[in-house]
Amino acid sequence: MDSDLIDIHRTLVIIKPDAVQRGLVGEVVRRFEHKGLKLVGLKLFNLPSEKAKELYQPHHGKSFYNYLIEFMTSSPIVAICLEGVNAIDIVRMINGATKPTEAQPGSIRGDYSIDITRNVVHASDSVENAARELAILFDPSELNEYQRIDDGILYSPEC
């Protein structure tokens, strides 16, 4: 794969405590992998309060901020780094709208969420935020560089 010809991005997905508790981790990861996104980082852990506050700093001062921090630190999460062409937009499409009442059936949130905070997944919304959020949750040594066997098919320069 010639990365000079293709605009490849990395993005963060967090499988939230509600989804971990409900046993949805495999289903969420499956949807991203089946779409063709490359898994380059994955870890299950309890999110420390200071990391949650750093991650959600853009929401500091909003009415839901304290509840969000409490929820995100209440149980293990799964942090995922995904890589691919248009990865940020594709992940957000697969996730569906943040509000469960607006999420389309077939999206992760459309199929599994009923609450705006307990909505199964978090995803970065821009290249800049992806870089910021990934740096909060992953050490560079935890992210892998490798070529998948289907890269040539998924990222053919002729397409």
Instruction: Measure CA of the first residue to CA of the last residue in the chain; give whole Å.
Output: 13
Confirm whether 9 is a catalytic residue.
no
Residues ≥6 apart with Cβ < 8 Å to 156: none
Q: What does the alpha-carbon distance between residue 25 and residue 39 come to, in Å, rounded to a whole number? A: 14
Q: Do residues 109 and 120 touch, judged by C-beta distance below 8 A?
A: yes
The answer to whether 88 touches 124, Cβ cutoff 8 Å, is yes
For residues 144 and 24, give the distance between their C-alpha atoms in angstroms, rounded to a whole number. Answer: 24
Distance (Å, whole) CA 84 – CA 79: 17
C-alpha distances in Å from residue 119, one per residue of 34, 70, 112: 21, 15, 7
Q: Which of 9, 34, 60, 122 is catalytic?
A: 122
Supply the residues annotated as catalytic. 122
